[in-house]
């Protein structure tokens, strides 16, 4: 992130961080450790260990709780049919994040076709809610 922020064309006041799967959970955790660097966080079906692992609940909650120090609003986007992170598991992670002081919105989308863990690949499903989130953060959208 330091390399990105050092680029002369980067507006340091308009940086958001986001990712899918491990990138989503790392984005939330990073924002909590470096809240001064980001204006928003977008988590697409985030998690570190899939629910097939015995320690998934402990590891995933712990990483998401690291993000709770981020003072801004975050957005968490999940879909039915994810083979790694069920909606019930992901909601528990979000509840732990909130209990630790994190702020955000948890949104779910129905499974159409084979979305599940690949939600990020279907912008027609989530683009409107992400654009609304960006506007609330005072950031431009693709339509502006």
- Per residue in 93-111, pLDDT (tens digit) is 999 999 999 999 999 998 7
pLDDT classification of 143: cutoffs 50, 70, 90: low
DSSP state of 118: G
> How many Å separate Cα 111 from the centre of its chain?
19
Do the beta carbons of residue 89 and residue 56 sit within 8 Å? yes
| pLDDT tens, position by position, 25-83 | 999 999 999 999 999 999 999 999 999 999 999 999 999 999 999 999 999 999 998 99
Distance between CA atoms of 37 and 19, rounded to whole angstroms? Answer: 16
CA neighbor of 27 nearest in space, from 8, 48, 7, 10: 48
Q: Is it the case that residue 112 has pLDDT exceeding 80?
A: no
User: What pLDDT is stored for residue 144 in this prediction?
Assistant: 54
Residue pair 120/113 in contact by the 8 Å Cβ criterion: no
pTM exceeding 0.75: yes
62 sits in which H/E element: helix 56-66
Please tell me the CATH code under which domain 17-136 is placed: 3.40.50.1820
């Amino acid at each position: 992130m330091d390399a990105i922020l050092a680029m002369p064309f980067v507006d340091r006041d308009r940086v958001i961080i986001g990712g899918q799967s491990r990138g989503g959970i790392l984005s939330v955790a990073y924002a909590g450790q470096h809240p001064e660097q980001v204006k928003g966080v977008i988590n697409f079906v985030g998690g570190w260990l899939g629910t097939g692992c015995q320690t998934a609940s402990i590891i995933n909650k712990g990483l998401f709780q690291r993000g709770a120090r981020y003072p801004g609003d975050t957005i968490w986007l999940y879909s039915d049919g994810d083979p790694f992170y069920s909606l019930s598991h992901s909601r528990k992670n979000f509840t732990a994040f909130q209990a630790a002081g994190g702020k955000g919105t948890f949104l779910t989308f129905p499974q159409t076709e084979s979305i599940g863990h690949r939600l990020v690949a279907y912008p027609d499903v989530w683009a409107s809610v992400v654009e609304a989130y960006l506007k609330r953060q005072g950031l431009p959208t693709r339509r502006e």
